[in-house]
Chain A
């Protein structure tokens, strides 16, 4: 179920027996919940109670069940004590290495609450996967606690005051007690939201005194303030399900405030309730799970936060036992989190999170479902082992932290990209040619001179003035393609096609660009369109074929066409592109070579030949072809970039860098080239220049890597 449902309560979440339909809010129910769902929540997030606390539970307490207070008005807990008790106590376990994975499986498997009988086999199954689990869990003392707490829950229904009664010593640790105290307070708050505060406190005190937990004056004193806030959260989350940036901001400031509240781990959990926005939840959870590992790493002492930096601590440790030890100590992971030594970390995370929220696009919440289908088991184990062995190295934590910056940058780039890929042309800002008397002519002139980026601007001015100017759009598309930007090329060519649907050059260009983008179906459509619109060959193109384009048929048609007119270079060119689609590279090369015999001065044709050769891994030949193209057109950005690729594919990274830099000097907007440059820089171990690359510092790069 999606994170959203976890927080806001989807239809499947209506758990009977709980007064709220907010399962995540019912995180507080960890001790009190009787449904498997809440226990799963508990398993997700390591809780205060430790594995070994069970040992203490295992005391000789027989049949206190009948004597429990609150028993008089409900019978349920006693009817199947074994199942409920063990389930419940299973929930007490901190997550071991497999726990997280198990938790996910559990979540996935139970969208609706099931009767306990059904749960037991599940648990057995889960049980088997955890060798650390001790067989003592089915003992009676656990049942005591479970049923006692259960009856507390049930008492909420009748609104009947819960009567305190002495219970046998259950051996709860201090941490456990604190946990129970905190959570039951919150729980009560939710259950009795419609009652007054005194009633709530009375209930809670009754519970606590029965369990021999001091209702800490400190905690009590803080109750009103704390819960007023939480009450607000609760009401807000009930009131509106719309995501709003203000909520997140509020949460973030609240979180910053509460950060220093040492014994307030639940505030965080409850604050999470507010995160019920449409998209944020999943991404939050993603961060949360990665964050979880980050935190558990910290708790293991393998990372230390030192003056706003995360550093790995020295020495490997046995992950499993240390983890257990940590939780034997009875401190909640959230407690550790809010401890002073990590005070810087959360700030940064919180701030980054805030910015990330605003920029976040749609994230698929099916991820949660799909993720759980994987046997995350293996990966989690491996991860633990790897960390132990130090195989991940120092960089991983830093890298994770730094990943946010990159992510933000990427988001911006992705947005731009997605617009163009939808066929929407993106105009440049600050175009000096707008207002020019004849921008088309200017553009053509600039193009002829080889000043591609300038030509683009002039042509943009033209089509802004005359949006139906097919020639303007066409040339704009060609200029972009030569500038190595297929996205914009496609966008411009589509407009050209709208203005002039039968233009063969446009159709061919569209076919080529789509081939480059690996969009085979679209490419086929346009190349077929070329045939269909050609005065000479349209007889070959029947309409029924147009509806079910198969590559083989189209190729056959083109072959027929070439036989009709062997001197028509264009047919060979189209054939060459077609063979690229089917990756019959030898045939493609042959076609292009034939075309070149007829049109040896066509620089674009040389580039096509080179690219074909490069894609069939004949990189040395490719470079020769590119060189021919560049001799004919020195400012042919695409050919420069292709050169870089061919060198890089041969492992000649230093050379490839120079070619990429040259391409970028001519067209700083060539996104592909930036990425490839980056890769080549690291392969050539020129990490010193990576920063220049990230900052788009072309001048520095040119100085460093001249041709």
Chain B
């Protein structure tokens, strides 16, 4: 557990969230499959893939087993957390190369921090 990514906690939260009413609403609205390749430090190195399947509500630590995710994001652990907290603007992140995108651009644009639940502070 010591080598766990911060993003792990976020995805866990998302997984629970997708089972709630609000989460189900979101799934219906977006209805896409995303994959996130989260890198501990630098993008592309030691990536951990997570699949966020809004069609089925699954959140899996692993690559998408189906045909192809609608969009794949390549981002670092820290930046992903910032993204969820709304501290990283998607366009700016893209311009700076803090996030790389593969797949459908429109699908990628539907992903925004608003759709993610936020962690609460002890």
Q: A residues near B, CB below 8 A? A: 282-283, 286-287, 290, 363-364, 366-367, 370-371, 373-376, 378-379, 382-383, 386, 391-392, 399-400, 403, 406-407, 410, 413, 484, 486, 512, 515-516, 518-521, 524, 549-551, 577, 580-583, 607-608, 610-612, 614-617, 619, 622, 638, 641-642, 645-646, 648-651, 671-672, 675-676, 678-679, 682-683
Of the candidates B6, B20, B118, the one whose C-beta lies within 8 Å of that of A676 is B118
| 0 or 1 for each of B46-59: is its CB under 8 Å from A? (1 = yes) | 00000000000000
Whether B114 and A367, one on each chain, are in contact in the complex, defined by CB atoms closer than 8 angstroms, is: no
- Contacts of A391 on B, CB cut-off 8 Å? 105-106
Known: A379-B103, A520-B2, A582-B1. A645 touches B20 (CB 8 A): no
Whether A645 and B85, one on each chain, are in contact in the complex, defined by CB atoms closer than 8 angstroms, is: no
Q: Which of B74, B89, B104, B121 has the most CB of A within 10 A?
A: B121
CA separation between A367 and B94, bound complex, in Å? Answer: 12
Of the candidates B1, B85, B100, B101, the one whose C-beta lies within 8 Å of that of A370 is B100
CA separation between A378 and B21, bound complex, in Å? Answer: 35
Known: A520-B4, A651-B25, A682-B114. A577 touches B122 (CB 8 A): yes
- A selection of 29 A-B contacts at a CB cut-off of 8 Å is A282-B97, A283-B97, A287-B95, A290-B94, A363-B97, A366-B44, A370-B74, A378-B102, A379-B103, A379-B105, A391-B105, A392-B106, A403-B89, A410-B87, A410-B88, A515-B122, A518-B10, A520-B2, A524-B2, A577-B122, A583-B9, A610-B120, A615-B120, A617-B16, A617-B19, A642-B121, A648-B118, A650-B22, A675-B87
CA separation between A371 and B101, bound complex, in Å? Answer: 10
Whether B4 and A371, one on each chain, are in contact in the complex, defined by CB atoms closer than 8 angstroms, is: no
Known: A607-B122, A616-B16. A675 touches B86 (CB 8 A): yes
Whether B12 and A583, one on each chain, are in contact in the complex, defined by CB atoms closer than 8 angstroms, is: yes
Which B-chain residue is minimally distant from A610 (CB atoms)? B120
Of the candidates B87, B119, B122, the one whose C-beta lies within 8 Å of that of A671 is B87
- Contacts of A611 on B, CB cut-off 8 Å? 120-122
Nearest Cβ on chain A to B8's Cβ, whole angstroms: 8
- Contacts of B92 on A, CB cut-off 8 Å? 403, 406-407, 410
- Contacts of A615 on B, CB cut-off 8 Å? 13, 119-120
Report, nearest first, the 9 A-B pairs whose CB atoms are least far apart.
Answer: A675-B86, A614-B120, A518-B6, A611-B120, A370-B44, A367-B97, A651-B22, A617-B16, A649-B117
CA separation between A280 and B16, bound complex, in Å? Answer: 42
Known: A512-B122, A583-B9, A679-B86. A375 touches B91 (CB 8 A): no
Whether A399 and B91, one on each chain, are in contact in the complex, defined by CB atoms closer than 8 angstroms, is: yes
- Contacts of A679 on B, CB cut-off 8 Å? 86, 113-114
Nearest Cβ on chain A to B59's Cβ, whole angstroms: 13
Known: A383-B105, A617-B13. A675 touches B85 (CB 8 A): yes
Whether B121 and A519, one on each chain, are in contact in the complex, defined by CB atoms closer than 8 angstroms, is: no
Main secondary structure of the interface of B (DSSP, over half): mixed
Which A-chain residue is minimally distant from B18 (CB atoms)? A617
CA separation between A378 and B108, bound complex, in Å? Answer: 13
Q: Which of B44, B74, B97 has the most CB of A within 10 A?
A: B97
Known: A367-B97, A649-B17, A679-B86. A617 touches B117 (CB 8 A): yes
CA separation between A36 and B119, bound complex, in Å? Answer: 51
Residues of chain B in range 25-72 having any CB-CB distance to chain A below 8 Å: 25, 42-44
Known: A608-B122, A679-B86. A521 touches B2 (CB 8 A): yes
Known: A615-B13, A617-B117. A410 touches B89 (CB 8 A): yes
CA separation between A647 and B94, bound complex, in Å? Answer: 30
CA separation between A52 and B7, bound complex, in Å? Answer: 50
CA separation between A484 and B94, bound complex, in Å? Answer: 29
Whether B19 and A645, one on each chain, are in contact in the complex, defined by CB atoms closer than 8 angstroms, is: no
Nearest Cβ on chain A to B6's Cβ, whole angstroms: 4
Nearest Cβ on chain B to A2's Cβ, whole angstroms: 12
Known: A400-B91, A403-B89, A651-B25. A379 touches B81 (CB 8 A): no
- Contacts of A617 on B, CB cut-off 8 Å? 13, 16-17, 19-20, 117
- Contacts of B100 on A, CB cut-off 8 Å? 370-371, 374
6 further A-B pairs in the complex, CB-CB below 8 A; given A386-B106, A550-B2, A679-B86: A287-B95, A392-B109, A516-B121, A521-B2, A617-B17, A650-B20
- Contacts of B87 on A, CB cut-off 8 Å? 410, 413, 671, 675
Q: B residues near A, CB below 8 A? A: 1-4, 6, 9-10, 12-13, 16-17, 19-22, 25, 42-44, 74, 81, 85-89, 91-92, 94-97, 100-106, 109, 113-114, 117-122
- Contacts of B13 on A, CB cut-off 8 Å? 615, 617
Which B-chain residue is minimally distant from A644 (CB atoms)? B118
- Contacts of B114 on A, CB cut-off 8 Å? 679, 682-683
- Contacts of A607 on B, CB cut-off 8 Å? 122
CA separation between A614 and B2, bound complex, in Å? Answer: 24
Whether A520 and B1, one on each chain, are in contact in the complex, defined by CB atoms closer than 8 angstroms, is: yes
CA separation between A376 and B89, bound complex, in Å? Answer: 22
Which B-chain residue is minimally distant from A645 (CB atoms)? B118
Q: Which of B16, B20, B118 has the most CB of A within 10 A?
A: B118
Of the candidates B6, B17, B95, B97, the one whose C-beta lies within 8 Å of that of A407 is B95
Known: A290-B95, A520-B2, A520-B4. A406 touches B89 (CB 8 A): yes
Whether A378 and B17, one on each chain, are in contact in the complex, defined by CB atoms closer than 8 angstroms, is: no
- Contacts of A518 on B, CB cut-off 8 Å? 6, 9-10, 81, 119
- Contacts of B106 on A, CB cut-off 8 Å? 382, 386, 391-392
Known: A374-B100, A407-B92, A611-B121. A364 touches B85 (CB 8 A): no
Of the candidates B1, B95, B104, the one whose C-beta lies within 8 Å of that of A286 is B95
Which B-chain residue is minimally distant from A290 (CB atoms)? B95
Nearest Cβ on chain A to B21's Cβ, whole angstroms: 8
CA separation between A607 and B121, bound complex, in Å? Answer: 8
Which B-chain residue is minimally distant from A391 (CB atoms)? B106
Whether A403 and B95, one on each chain, are in contact in the complex, defined by CB atoms closer than 8 angstroms, is: yes
Which A-chain residue is minimally distant from B10 (CB atoms)? A518
Whether B74 and A374, one on each chain, are in contact in the complex, defined by CB atoms closer than 8 angstroms, is: yes
Nearest Cβ on chain B to A486's Cβ, whole angstroms: 7
Whether B22 and A550, one on each chain, are in contact in the complex, defined by CB atoms closer than 8 angstroms, is: no
- Contacts of B101 on A, CB cut-off 8 Å? 379
- Contacts of B118 on A, CB cut-off 8 Å? 645, 648-649, 676
CA separation between A512 and B122, bound complex, in Å? Answer: 7
- Contacts of A612 on B, CB cut-off 8 Å? 122
- Contacts of B96 on A, CB cut-off 8 Å? 283, 286, 363, 407
Which A-chain residue is minimally distant from B19 (CB atoms)? A617
Whether B91 and A403, one on each chain, are in contact in the complex, defined by CB atoms closer than 8 angstroms, is: yes
Nearest Cβ on chain A to B99's Cβ, whole angstroms: 11
CA separation between A436 and B52, bound complex, in Å? Answer: 55
Whether A382 and B104, one on each chain, are in contact in the complex, defined by CB atoms closer than 8 angstroms, is: yes
Nearest Cβ on chain A to B16's Cβ, whole angstroms: 4
Nearest Cβ on chain B to A88's Cβ, whole angstroms: 32
CA separation between A382 and B103, bound complex, in Å? Answer: 7
Nearest Cβ on chain A to B11's Cβ, whole angstroms: 11
Whether B86 and A379, one on each chain, are in contact in the complex, defined by CB atoms closer than 8 angstroms, is: no
Whether B121 and A641, one on each chain, are in contact in the complex, defined by CB atoms closer than 8 angstroms, is: yes
- Contacts of B44 on A, CB cut-off 8 Å? 366, 370, 373
Of the candidates B3, B10, B95, B97, the one whose C-beta lies within 8 Å of that of A371 is B97
